[in-house]
Amino acid sequence: MVKQRSALDSIPAYKQGAMPSTSDVVKLSSNENPFPPLASVRAAVAEELERIHLYPSMAAPELTSRVATLQGVEPENIVFGAGSVEVATQLVQASAGQGDEVMFAWRSFEAYPIIAIGAGATPVQVPLTADERHDLDAMVDAITDRTAIIFVCNPNNPTGATLTHAEVRAFITRVPSDVLVVIDEAYEHFNRDAETAIGIDLYREFPNVAVLHTFSKAYGLAGLRIGYAVAQADVAANLRKVSVPFAVSALAQTAALASLDAEAELGERIDDIVSERARVTEELRAQGWNVGESQANFVWLRLGDDTELIDAALTRSGVLARAFPGEGIRITIGSPEANRRALAALAGVRQEATR
Ligand SMILES: *Cc1c(COP(=O)(O)O)cnc(C)c1O
């Protein structure tokens, strides 16, 4: 047996949402965008295919300047990665090593513990409140001399709950100024909560804040892998040092630029998903499920011990959702037809239960 780091024994393998084995299955397990790529994005990527024998530009100057303008920051404050998961990895690697603590709410995004342990650091998971939100007071209490970086996921994956600007602002004022607070806004485009925390505003106010954005969800580019951080210049420079060289392909950069050119068209799709979310939530409540308010492109059913049974029933009906055994099921908002299938399957489960 070759030498391997024993810390990896405690890494839970990242579980990809179930993949459909037949065409009669709807996949609502990975928070993917149900719409196919825009024609304009496809055309831009097709043109870029002519150059895949070349390495991409690591600085991604055009996209960087475009995003910097959009966010009202300097290009030096923007760092791209192969998905925001890669940028989150860079943030942890730049901030925390052996003996340092990486804090986040739990349950939250399942990549956080993997990234923390991968960096040799110690994950610190602070349980959500009963209403599925970050327990910011408990997170403050859990801060130690070892705390190096804190993730705040808003809206939270998988519960869809948001935090208000006032709450997150008050939280940051209680975090030591040498601890980096990362606000992960992977689902920001679906968030219609008027009171919600705005990461970029907090970044402008507090030098120890960084913000994570992705093109995977609202922009529908999950398969091309591109996301970015907004961070202070010194932090951003360190993120570039620990990044995998050439990880962000020219295809991804091109698709991101073409998507920014198509914001109006994408915005309509996002609006459609948001109204489907309202419809699905309402219907689930009418069926009698305990479903909270989600501001993301998924809904969350807190099912406790019934989780595995209900997930099995969904799978039998050809609906693949994301189950967290003993906790609940996250169901992505898909096409109206896919949502109809999910709702019908869940209605069937309820009927069986009352029989
Ligand atoms: C999906 C998701 C991401 C984005 O992942 P990519 O690597 O950009 O595809 C980041 N954070 C959270 C909380 C997510 O759910």
141-151 per-position pLDDT tens digit: 999 999 999 99
Residue nearest to atom 12 of ligand 1 (CA): 186
321-338 per-position pLDDT tens digit: 999 999 999 999 999 999
152-185 per-position pLDDT tens digit: 999 999 999 999 999 999 999 999 999 999 999 9
Contacts of 201 (CB under 8 A, 6+ apart): 165
User: Does ligand 1 come within 6 angstroms of the Cβ of 227?
Assistant: yes
User: Which residues face 301 on adjacent strands?
Assistant: 291, 329
What pLDDT score does 154 carry?
A: 98
Residue 354 confidence (pLDDT) above 80: no
The radius of gyration of the chain's CA atoms, rounded to the nearest angstrom, is: 20
User: Does ligand 1 come within 6 angstroms of the Cβ of 222?
Assistant: yes
Residue nearest to atom 3 of ligand 1 (CA): 186
Percent helix, strand and coil across the chain, each to the nearest 5? 45, 15, 40
Please give the Cα distance from 298 to 159 (Å, whole number).
Answer: 8
Please give the Cα distance from 131 to 174 (Å, whole number).
Answer: 23
Residue nearest to atom 1 of ligand 1 (CA): 186
Please give the Cα distance from 162 to 104 (Å, whole number).
Answer: 15
Residue 194 confidence (pLDDT) above 70: yes
Q: Where are the alpha helices (DSSP H) in the chain?
A: 39-48, 61-71, 84-95, 111-118, 136-141, 165-174, 199-205, 233-242, 250-260, 263-287, 307-316, 336-354
Residue 1 confidence (pLDDT) above 90: no
User: Does ligand 1 come within 6 angstroms of the Cβ of 153?
Assistant: yes
Please give the Cα distance from 103 to 264 (Å, whole number).
Answer: 37
The CA dihedral of 263, 269, 273, 274, to the nearest 10 degrees, is: 50
Residue 12 confidence (pLDDT) above 90: no
204-263 per-position pLDDT tens digit: 999 999 999 999 999 999 999 999 999 999 999 999 999 999 999 999 999 999 999 999
What pLDDT score does 21 carry?
A: 66
Residue 132 confidence (pLDDT) above 70: yes
Residue nearest to atom 6 of ligand 1 (CA): 83
Residue 29 confidence (pLDDT) above 70: yes
Residue 353 confidence (pLDDT) above 80: no
User: Does ligand 1 come within 6 angstroms of the Cβ of 84?
Assistant: yes
User: Does ligand 1 come within 6 angstroms of the Cβ of 184?
Assistant: yes
pTM: 0.96
**Phi, psi (deg, nearest 5) at residue 211:** -125, 140
- 3-class SS of residue 271: helix
Ligand 1 pocket test, pick from 80, 85, 215 with the greatest ligand atom count within 8 Å of Cβ, gives: 85
pLDDT class of 352 with cuts at 50, 70, 90: confident
- The minimum-distance atom of ligand 1 relative to the CA of 153 is 13
Q: Are strands 78-81 and 122-127 parallel, antiparallel or unpaired?
A: unpaired
How many helices and strands in the chain, by DSSP H and E?
A: 12, 12
Ligand 1 pocket test, pick from 184, 188, 244 with the greatest ligand atom count within 8 Å of Cβ, gives: 184
User: Which residues face 107 on adjacent strands?
Assistant: none
Kindly state the percentage of the chain with pLDDT values over 70: 98
Spacing, Cα 269 to ligand 1 middle (Å): 19
- The minimum-distance atom of ligand 1 relative to the CA of 215 is 8
Residue nearest to atom 14 of ligand 1 (CA): 186
What pLDDT score does 142 carry?
A: 98
66-112 per-position pLDDT tens digit: 999 999 999 999 999 999 999 999 999 999 999 999 999 999 999 99
